[in-house]
Amino acid sequence: MMSGENEWTQSILHQSKRMTKLVNNLVRLARMEEKLDKNRMEVLSLSEISEDIAHSFEAVIQQGGKKLEKSIEKDIKVKSDINMLQELISILIDNASKYCDDGGTIGISLSRKGRQAVFSVSNDYADGKGVDYSKFFDRFYREDSSHNSSKGGFGIGLSMAAELASSLGIRINTAWAEGRISFTLHFAAA
């Protein structure tokens, strides 16, 4: 360190940042396991929240050589906790951005289905046939090659998403078809 920055100091700095991020994520996950304060629930515009968060990821997605497609219906409202809802949607979009096939497309959709609001994030994932998606929500799951450490995560994002969805009373489903994986949230519309 006395002789200035070199590959070793850069590596140490990078690993320190990764460990800090992991510890912060684990603390957030532990806090999520606490009960939701129902008094913090309010009627929110899921349409506006989805649009804002999708917009915040656009540059990152484009820089990664991927494409973003949005289909967000206007004026859909849900009763939820703003911070937990924003975190949940961010995790799903971040996950899609990281694990989308090179040159692929990330899709974000929000629509009404009867008395429900249905939010979905999908991405190209050609190697997804026959994968056990139930394990994607397990902490530290990174077994298949597309979810390895070269993608920069820790394997806790989707477990955090599942915990948030459960706390908010939202059903989350995963499906794969025709080379695309999707994570879908089912809300009671307000």
147 three-class SS: helix
The reported pLDDT for the residue numbered 145 is: 46
pLDDT tens column, 107-166: 999 999 999 999 999 999 998 888 877 767 665 555 444 444 445 554 677 888 888 898
Q: Does the predicted model carry a pTM greater than 0.75?
A: yes
Give domain 35-188's CATH superfamily: Histidine kinase-like ATPase, C-terminal domain (3.30.565.10)
Question: 189 vs 14, which has greater pLDDT?
Answer: 189
Cβ pair 58, 68 in contact under 8 A: yes
Number of H helices, E strands in the chain: 4, 7
pLDDT tens column, 65-100: 999 999 999 999 999 999 889 999 999 999 999 999
The reported pLDDT for the residue numbered 118 is: 97
The reported pLDDT for the residue numbered 85 is: 93
The reported pLDDT for the residue numbered 155 is: 62
Cβ pair 179, 124 in contact under 8 A: yes
Provide the pLDDT confidence category of residue 189 given band limits of 50, 70 and 90. confident
